[in-house]
């Protein structure tokens, strides 16, 4: 009996069964990449595609072609996308925050005109209280905005604006699970004055710390 294969696509859905020739066509179509989960009937087990010797030559050709066709996105373009995303998320936050905060009288602290020690301490306390209210609203918005867009389209609105997208290192779609992992890894990149982002300057692939941790890269779509 001929060996059959199944895969877990980038959308998390199972596809197959398929023959080896059909699976190789899926590789050429970009539906199967090195880390795609593949099931083989004679083994009755799921493994990454590059674990199967019969698939490695086609995967290698696909990876080489993808590397030639993509151009890594550098620091300054990614900074512009980050700022654009900040404005978008800020607008979304205000729309969500206002109807919640208004009836509860949660107002943004005003900066005092006189910078006396008492006023500075009062402002610090008021900001602390405001952050206690704001962060539980902001972070869910942040996570949903980033993970849903990146998982669905491979890019946030900021990255779409600069013509870039996030992929796995083999060029395949990132998916929701990896998008969530990358979001958490990006928070590590923001520690120590955003040091993780400056890692972009240290490698030709222009990958930030969170790209290395999540196994992703940012490339231009054209």
Task: For 50-102, write each residue's pLDDT tens digit.
Answer: 999 999 998 888 777 666 667 899 999 999 999 999 999 999 999 999 999 98
Write down the pLDDT at residue 44.
86
Is-contact 155 149, C-beta < 8 A? yes
Mean pLDDT in residue range 11-33: 88
Is residue 126 predicted with pLDDT exceeding 80?
no
Per-residue DSSP letters for 136-187? HHHHHHHHHHHHHHHHHHSS-HHHHHTTEEEEETTS---HHHHHHHHHHHHH
User: Among residues of the chain, what percentage have pLDDT more than 90?
Assistant: 61
Q: How far is Cα 10 from Cα 32, in angstroms, rounded to an integer? A: 9
**Radius of gyration, alpha carbons of the chain:** 23
For residue 54, what are its two tokens?
């019969």
User: Among residues of the chain, what percentage have pLDDT more than 70?
Assistant: 97
Q: Phi/psi of residue 215, each to 5°? A: 70, 40
Q: How far is Cα 190 from Cα 76, in angstroms, rounded to an integer? A: 16
CB atoms within 10 A of CB 13: 8
HEC letters along 68-95: HHCCECCHHHHHHHHHHHHHHHHHHHHH
Write down the pLDDT at residue 68.
60
Is residue 13 predicted with pLDDT exceeding 70?
yes
The more confidently predicted of residues 41 and 63 is 41
> What rounded mean pLDDT belongs to the chain?
89
Write down the pLDDT at residue 106.
85
């Amino acid at each position: 009996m001929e060996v059959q294969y199944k895969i877990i696509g980038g959308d998390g859905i199972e596809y197959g069964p398929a023959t080896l020739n059909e699976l190789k066509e899926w590789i050429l179509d970009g539906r199967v990449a090195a880390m795609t989960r593949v099931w083989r009937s004679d083994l009755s087990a799921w493994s990454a595609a590059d674990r199967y010797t019969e698939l490695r030559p086609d995967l290698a050709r696909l990876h080489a072609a993808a590397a030639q066709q993509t151009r890594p996105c550098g620091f300054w373009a990614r900074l512009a996308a980050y700022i654009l995303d900040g404005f978008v998320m800020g607008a979304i936050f205000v729309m969500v925050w206002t109807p919640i905060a208004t009836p509860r009288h949660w107002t943004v602290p005003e900066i005092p005109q006189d910078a006396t020690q008492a006023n500075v301490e009062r402002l610090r306390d008021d900001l602390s209280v405001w952050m206690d209210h704001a962060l539980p609203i902001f972070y869910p918005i942040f996570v949903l905005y980033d993970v849903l867009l990146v998982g669905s389209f491979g890019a946030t609105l900021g990255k779409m604006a600069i013509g870039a997208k996030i992929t796995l290192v083999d060029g395949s779609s990132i998916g929701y699970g990896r998008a969530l992992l990358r979001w958490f890894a990006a928070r590590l990149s923001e520690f120590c004055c955003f040091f993780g982002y400056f890692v972009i300057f240290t490698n030709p692939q222009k990958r930030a710390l969170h790209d290395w941790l999540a196994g992703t890269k940012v490339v231009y779509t054209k």
